[in-house]
Amino acid sequence: MSETESLEQVAVIGAGTMGNGIAQVCAQSSLRVRVCDLSAAVLERAQKSVAASLDRIVAKGKLTAEQRDAALGRIAWGSSLEAAVEGADVVIEAVPERMELKVDTFRKVDAAAPKTALLGSNTSSLSITEIAASLGDPSRLVGMHFFNPVPVMDLLEVVRGVRTTDATVDRAVSFAKVIGKTSIVVRDVPGFATSRLGVALGAEAIRMLESGVASAEDIDRAMELGYRHPMGPLRLTDLVGLDVRLAILDHLHKELGEQFRAPPLLRQMVRAGKLGKKSGEGFYKWPDEKK
């Protein structure tokens, strides 16, 4: 396999919910992974989360204890981005959804990672084309959008920026196969395919709750039982994070217009620190999750 085809050493920048899930699936697929995050607390939580998720898979009999230990052994955790990307074949950025942070991260990646590395951003709605503009060679950046919980969700949404080459897209699609995900390829438009549809449903559910159409439980039940969604839109917003959903809505509102204006209730809840599962409360209470 040539240098540009190798996909064995992965760097994940950011160890939050998505970053640690991405690291886990890569390690489960026999890839070596280095994860970096500036926060020691986030790194510690991430390690616990990966261990708990793997334990869950072992308990289901889908992984042996030896395979779990081997997967854990393939992940290295640290605070240095430069050390994480050294010698990497694939670099996946999973930092918070702020353009300036993504751009700054990729400037550092550009300076320290091999020039042959495939670069992926896990952004859920920001422009891949704009992020890529910070790179010496924008053709090697592609959107690699994962879904929460990463070990369970089958999709990888591959986003083609204006300057992304076919070779880069093909490599990202191959990477999806290596880690057991099914890919779709979409053009770089605000919210891509998934976030645009996902937040439209979520925002409408919040507006319905706001105007007293039904309780949160019954709005969720409507979609769970009436449409066979695995989880209703309000519970799903809790899972994803109200702050994450608000950031996507604000971005889509700016880019696509009025239909994506964030419901005031969502903004108020975020201001109050009700971020969903990760903060212990959102539309539901999550007493066991509060860190």
Q: Which of residues 82-141 bind ligand 3HC (CB under 6 A)?
A: 124
Q: What is the torsion angle, in degrees rounded to the nearest 10, for the CA atoms of residue 120, residue 124, residue 126 and residue 128?
A: 30
Interaction of residue 57 with ligand 3HC, rule CB under 6 A:
yes
CB nearer to ligand 3HC: give 113 or 239. Answer: 239
CB nearer to ligand 3HC: give 106 or 147. Answer: 147
Interaction of residue 291 with ligand 3HC, rule CB under 6 A:
no
Interaction of residue 152 with ligand 3HC, rule CB under 6 A:
yes
Among 132, 236, 246, 249, binds ligand 3HC (CB under 6 A): 236
Interaction of residue 15 with ligand 3HC, rule CB under 6 A:
no
Q: What is the torsion angle, in degrees rounded to the nearest 10, for the CA atoms of residue 197, residue 202, residue 208 and residue 210?
A: -140
Interaction of residue 26 with ligand 3HC, rule CB under 6 A:
no
What burial class does residue 115 get, using C-beta atoms within 10 Å of its C-beta: 0-12 exposed, 13-18 middle, 19+ buried? exposed
Q: Strand (E) positions, the chain?
A: 9-13, 32-36, 75-78, 90-93, 118-121, 141-145, 155-160, 182-187
Rounded Cα distance between 279 and 219, Å, is: 22
Of the candidate spans 81-89, 102-110, 147-155, 251-259, the one that interacts with ligand 3HC by CB under 6 A turns out to be: 147-155
What are the structure tokens assigned to 96, written together?
């918070």
Interaction of residue 237 with ligand 3HC, rule CB under 6 A:
no
